[in-house]
Structure 1
Amino acid sequence: MAVKRKMQARRRQKPARKPLGHWLRPAFVVLVMSGSIAGLVFMLEWMKDPHAWPVKTVQIEGDLQYLDRAALQEFLVPMSDEGFFGVQVARIQSLLQARPWVERVSVRRVWPNRLQINIREQQPVARWGETGFLNPRGELFHPQVAVKIEGLPQLAGPKGHEQRVLSMFAQIRKSLQPLQLGVVRVQLDARRAWHVQLDNGLKMELGRRNPLQRVARFVYAYPAILAAGSGRVVSVDLRYSNGVAVHWQSIGKQAKRTG
């Protein structure tokens, strides 16, 4: 009886055998995952192959007046040799954006084999100093190659005052419209005094205080100034509180007239 009980206890302690499927399922999962990873790696390498996925067309879009489209094409084509998926879009965009004449640029892939470049060129509205230009927002840029653009006003001022000078130019030009006079030069000097030259050659000294009020005084007095002189008006000094100083070319004298 005791022997029988010992045999029954041994049977209870002996672990049960697990079915074969218990071991096959994890092995199958590992095998599938390994195959998927290997396939993904192969696919990624294949996509990077420039011969399998070449860029056949580099398309440059935008109205370009100052940028050389052919030179841009020559610059971009070698960078597209890395293939459709391998081409470094962000790097190309950064390199193009660094060019002075480029205001904004976007670069994107177009399926299946085209690289599209959209460029917005800088629009110069004024010259700044010797080599710079201002765009409509008063942002300064310096082209690498000197370019001559007719009809732009010449502006100048201390560093960081580009927007202020451009704004003053626009306001003075608007104030002079009743006289049908244009502005060709506005300068803000180191002492923050304003100097203006008109398209008829006349120079205006506005000083540092209330420059627009002094321009308004000039507009009011200009017909009387023309009537009082016998030659071409060379310059007008508006820094006086109660009048202007006028210089005529023919007689070479100054006449101070009260407002």
Structure 2
Amino acid sequence: MPAVRGARRAGRNQQAEHPRSRRGKAVPPPSMNSMPRLAQIKLSGGLASDDVKVSGKSLVLALTGAVFFLGAGVAGAAWLGSSLFDVREAFARAADGAAANVGFAVDEIQVSTIEGASAISPARAAEVRALIVPEGRQSILSLDPNDVKTRVESLDWVQGVRVRRLWPNDMLIEVERRQEYARWQEDGEISVIDANGERLLTERAADHANLPLVVGQGAGPASPPMLAALESLPQVRAHLRALVRVGDRRWNVELTSGTTVALPEERPEEALAQLEELQTEHALLDRPLAQIDMRVPNRVAIRVHPVLAGGLRPLLGGA
């Protein structure tokens, strides 16, 4: 009996090792060649050295693809950056041309002066018109009044600007020019300045010989208060030859007679007003004087010059 049991167990073990088909035939174990590649990798425990070999052609293709994608990324960044302006500009020009074609083409740019301001010459008006319509623009819609105002105010001789669209085709530019206020002599060069002491680079000093002259380093920017004070002092102004800046801290007044008036460092405008009173009461500026010193408050020191133009003349009131 034990021998029979052992034979039965052996038969069962053989059946487990070689399963049979439904028809009773044994099914052979699957070969490695018939298995999927992934299953073979799993059964073998990983990739063999032969599995990771890369051909030169594959490597070249991989590198080419990487370079292509990298180049595409750089090109996209460039388009979004610097070239995006070109895209917008092309779109703006197309829209501008369409607006011009439907009746909004720029027809006339009128340039005039702001009411009460000095007239401007035809050459100045042409200079303004040249700045109005940007290159490549045709329609009134493309002319933003604020941009036009900024461009016209960039002109050296312009003080202020008003801009209006006159629909559908015209634009009105009203300009206030900077006024020539004085001449400024510095380092031997004479230029024209406005009421703020700023140079008018487009004006020639020879064309404005009637303007007052300020002389010295920093005289131009420092002169507006003095020049404004002289506006209400006609007698001093009539005798004025030049305002001379001394040490960039105070002024001397040079008179047409050759007299020098030394003004105080503090409140020189008040000294000018006092000088106007002395001229009214004593004709002081008509006397043959070498110097009038007003640097000490409440005191006027006079030095007589014996032979100035006009000869010796007695001082009125024994001054």
Q: TM-score range by the shorter chain?
A: 0.5 to 0.7
Q: Look up the match of 2:59.
A: none
Deviation at 1:217, TM superposition (A): 6.1
Bigger share in strand = 1
Deviation at 1:55, TM superposition (A): 0.7
Deviation at 1:175, TM superposition (A): 4.9
**Equivalent of 2:214 in 155, 158, 171:** 155
Deviation at 1:205, TM superposition (A): 2.1
Deviates more, 1:232-241 or 1:96-105: 232-241
**Equivalent of 2:105 in 47, 54, 74:** 54
**Equivalent of 1:115 in 168, 171, 185:** 171
Alignment partners' CA distance in 2, 1:70 and 1:213: 45
The one-letter code of the counterpart of 2:194 is: L
SS in 2 for 1:142: coil
Q: Aligned pair count? A: 209
Indicate conservation of the 8 Å contact 1:59/1:115, yes or no.
Answer: yes
SS in 2 for 1:49: helix
Deviates more, 1:244-253 or 1:185-194: 244-253
CA separation of 1:242/1:59 partners in 2, compared to 1, >3 Å: closer, same or farther?
A: closer
SS in 1 for 2:126: helix
Q: How does 1:29-178 map to 2 (within 5 A)?
A: 45=95, 48-52=98-102, 53-62=104-113, 63-65=119-121, 68-76=124-132, 81-129=137-185, 130-135=190-195, 138-144=196-202, 146-147=204-205, 148-156=207-215, 159=218, 162=221, 165-172=223-230, 174-175=232-233, 177=235
**Equivalent of 1:246 in 295, 298, 304:** 304
SS in 1 for 2:208: coil
Bigger share in helix = 2
How big is each residue's C-alpha offset from its partner over 1:188-237, in whole Å with a ceiling of 9 and x where there is no partner? 3225121112344433222435645655268538848689x7xx445434
Gaps of 5+ in 2: 1-93, 114-118, 313-317
Deviation at 1:114, TM superposition (A): 0.4
The one-letter code of the counterpart of 1:134 is: D
Gaps of 5+ in 1: 1-43
Deviates more, 1:105-114 or 1:205-214: 205-214
Indicate conservation of the 8 Å contact 2:292/2:300, yes or no.
Answer: no
CA separation of 1:185/1:99 partners in 2, compared to 1, >3 Å: closer, same or farther?
A: same
Instruction: Report the TM-score, using the length of structure 1 for normalisation.
Output: 0.60
Q: Look up the match of 2:292.
A: 236
CA separation of 1:239/1:51 partners in 2, compared to 1, >3 Å: closer, same or farther?
A: same
The one-letter code of the counterpart of 1:133 is: I
Deviation at 1:98, TM superposition (A): 0.9
Indicate conservation of the 8 Å contact 1:233/1:249, yes or no.
Answer: no
Deviation at 1:250, TM superposition (A): 4.6
Alignment partners' CA distance in 2, 1:182 and 1:226: 7
Deviates more, 1:57-66 or 1:167-176: 167-176
SS in 2 for 1:112: coil
The one-letter code of the counterpart of 2:100 is: P
Deviation at 1:143, TM superposition (A): 2.1
TM-align CA RMSD: 4.2
Identity percentage over the alignment?
A: 19
CA separation of 1:248/1:65 partners in 2, compared to 1, >3 Å: closer, same or farther?
A: farther
Q: Which has the higher contact order (CA 8 A, sep 6+)?
A: 1
How big is each residue's C-alpha offset from its partner over 1:126-155, in whole Å with a ceiling of 9 and x where there is no partner? 2234324122xx352432353521321112
Alignment partners' CA distance in 2, 1:94 and 1:67: 20
Bigger Rg over Cα? 2
**Equivalent of 2:259 in 177, 202, 206:** 202
Alignment partners' CA distance in 1, 2:300 and 2:126: 60
Alignment partners' CA distance in 2, 1:109 and 1:224: 58
